[in-house]
Structure 1
Amino acid sequence: MKWVGDARLAAGPEAAWYLETAFTPGAHLGTVHDDPTTPIVVTEIEEVTTMRIPSGRLVVDAPFDDDDVSRYEQGLPTRPPRELAVSIPPGVYRVEIAWTAGPYEFFGEHFDGVECAATRLCISDDPVIVWEMGLGVGDDIERLQPDKEPRFCSDANVGCFADAGAWTTLSAPFRAFKDGSPVPRETERLPGWCERVRDESQQADLVMFMAESGGVVWLGRTKTGDVATIVVTSGMPGAKA
């Protein structure tokens, strides 16, 4: 039976085009700012790592923010993470980054313009037929404004995928401060400026990635409605047509 979603969550034509194009090597995602002759090209889809999500519950959020760290230092309760309302089968999944390049010149200096266009968690290889915004637990679709995409906020321009059941342990290294300064955290460094934290007691992981100014979470669904991929991106066309 074909999946029929809620039209209020559906990606508009521009957003759907971006989500498909960002993961197509060689495709053009537009042109460099102030230089319409130089395209921004998708150069690579890089598999950064795999991660374990044994609970099937997924947090897609910043691993920390300024207010959260301040409350943590004072011994106050921190805000709950943004857990997605949709669950996925427990398992081990690939994390991939779509890289783009758009060379440019600034004050006589040349730059390669390499940037992260989007990051995705690959649940299955089944074809995606529709994209929709991913609501968090507690989000009310009835209060969703037509011109606003639900997103997580990030003071440090990062986001993460993490198993919700092990969130407290997995996010702890990002909350370690002393005298107002961050303590070097014990995380595993990965390609693409990513980091990973493992909780071996629960066989669960957190993977941090770049997400400028936070990001919109998108679900790529198959014809049966199963979630095949979860994508985070920012600086892209709006959700609605």
Structure 2
Amino acid sequence: MTWVGDPRLAADAEAAWYLEAAFTPGARLGTVYDDPSTPVVVTGVAEVATLRVPSGRIVVDAPWDDDDARMYECGLPTRPPRELAVGIPPGTYPVEVAWTAGPYAFLGRRFDGVECAATRLRVSDEPVAGWEAGLGVADDIARLQPGERPRVAAGANVVCFADAGAWTTLSAPFRTYVDGSPVPRDTERLSHEGERVSDEARRADLVTFAAESGGVVWLGRTGTGDVSVIVVTSGMAGAKA
């Protein structure tokens, strides 16, 4: 039986092109802002961490909320995380970042223009047959307007993948405040300037990465409908060469 997705969630041709091109070294994703002669090129895809997901439930959200300090000071609970409505098999999965370069000049200086184009959680090596926006457990597909996509928040342009079952422990370092100020975090610093928090009691992880606020979470589905990959785009998402 071949998977058929809901057309209200399906990626359009431009988004599908970007999701494939972003993880293809050498692909052109567009041109540098204000310089149509200089392309933005995918320079490589690197595994930056592994993520343990014993619950099979995934959070894709900011690791903290702008209102956290106020809520903590008032003794109130913070908002629940944005957990995806779809689950994956419990296991350990690679987190991979697609890097681009688009050299540019600013105030007489040259910059290499290296940026993160997209980050993915690779669930399997099965080919993607189709892309769809990833609904959260609290999202109501019936309320989506034509062309609208459920979006994820990003505190200071930071998003994370995390095991939903261990969210309270995993997110605690990002959500601890004293007198309205965040407490310095004791987290593992990663090569892509992200951070990892581990809950060894549950053998679960949280990994942060750069992404713009309001980004769309995309699910790559196999021909049978299984989730092969979860992608969060950033930077030039949606641009086309």
Classify the TM-score, shorter chain: over 0.9
| Partner in structure 2 of residue 19 of structure 1 | 19
Instruction: Measure how far apart 1:73 and its partner are.
Output: 3.0
Instruction: Measure how far apart 1:214 and its partner are.
Output: 4.0
Checking the alignment, whether the CA contact within 8 Å between 2:73 and 2:179 is kept in structure 1 is no
| Partner in structure 1 of residue 105 of structure 2 | 105
Distance in 2 of aligned mates of 1:232 and 1:159: 9
Aligned residue-pair number: 238
Farther-moved stretch of structure 1 (70-79 vs 51-60): 70-79
Which residue identity lines up with residue 236 of structure 1 in the other structure?
A
| Partner in structure 2 of residue 88 of structure 1 | 88
- Give the structure-1-normalised TM-score: 0.96
Deviations 1:7-38 (A, max 9, x none): 11000000000000000001100000111110
| Partner in structure 1 of residue 43 of structure 2 | 43
Instruction: Measure how far apart 1:78 and its partner are.
Output: 0.8
Q: Which residues of 2 match residues 181-196 of structure 1 at below 5 A?
A: 181-196=181-196
Checking the alignment, whether the CA contact within 8 Å between 1:59 and 1:84 is kept in structure 2 is yes
Instruction: Measure how far apart 1:145 and its partner are.
Output: 1.5
| Partner in structure 2 of residue 125 of structure 1 | 125
| Partner in structure 2 of residue 163 of structure 1 | 163
Q: Secondary structure at the match of 1:191?
A: coil
- Give the structure-2-normalised TM-score: 0.96
Q: Secondary structure at the match of 2:201?
A: coil
Q: Which residues of 2 match residues 133-212 of structure 1 at below 5 A?
A: 133-212=133-212
Deviations 1:162-184 (A, max 9, x none): 00000000000001222332221
| Partner in structure 1 of residue 237 of structure 2 | 236
Instruction: Measure how far apart 1:215 and its partner are.
Output: 2.0
Unaligned runs of 5+ in 2: none
Instruction: Measure how far apart 1:72 and its partner are.
Output: 2.2
Distance in 2 of aligned mates of 1:100 and 1:169: 33
**Identity %, equivalent residues:** 72
Instruction: Measure how far apart 1:69 and its partner are.
Output: 3.1
Distance in 2 of aligned mates of 1:107 and 1:148: 38
Farther-moved stretch of structure 1 (72-81 vs 200-209): 72-81
Which residue identity lines up with residue 16 of structure 2 in the other structure?
A
- Does residue 65 of the first structure (1) align with residue 72 of the second (2)? no
